[in-house]
Amino acid sequence: MKQRSLRATVDRELCVKSGECVLIAPGDFELDAEGISVFVGAIGDEARIEEAMNNCPSHAISIIRERSANEGGNQ
């Protein structure tokens, strides 16, 4: 069975501290002490993480999809 792991990154220079991502994907994003968003990925809800990325006003969120180590397929 194919498996993919997903993580997101937040560009600290671009983030405007709107907190939109925290509201849309709670548990996957948090605000740090400065109010900047960080990806924590505690839930891993792919749809919500994607929605948070699409709604980020400053385009600070990027999603990285990685193939897991046990994934088969062409090498």
Computed from CA positions of residues 40, 44, 46, 48, in that sequence, does the dihedral angle turn out positive or negative? negative
Q: What percent of the residues of the chain are helix, what percent strand, and what percent coil, each to the nearest 5?
A: 20, 30, 50
Q: Shortest distance, CB of residue 20 to other proteins, whole angstroms? A: 7
Residue of 8, 10, 20, 61 that binds other proteins (CB under 8 A) = 20
Give the integer Cα–Cα distance in Å for 47 and 71.
21
Q: Shortest distance, CB of residue 70 to other proteins, whole angstroms? A: 28
Residues of this chain that interact with other proteins (CB under 8 A) are 14, 16-20, 22-24, 26, 31, 35, 47-48, 51, 54-55, 57-59
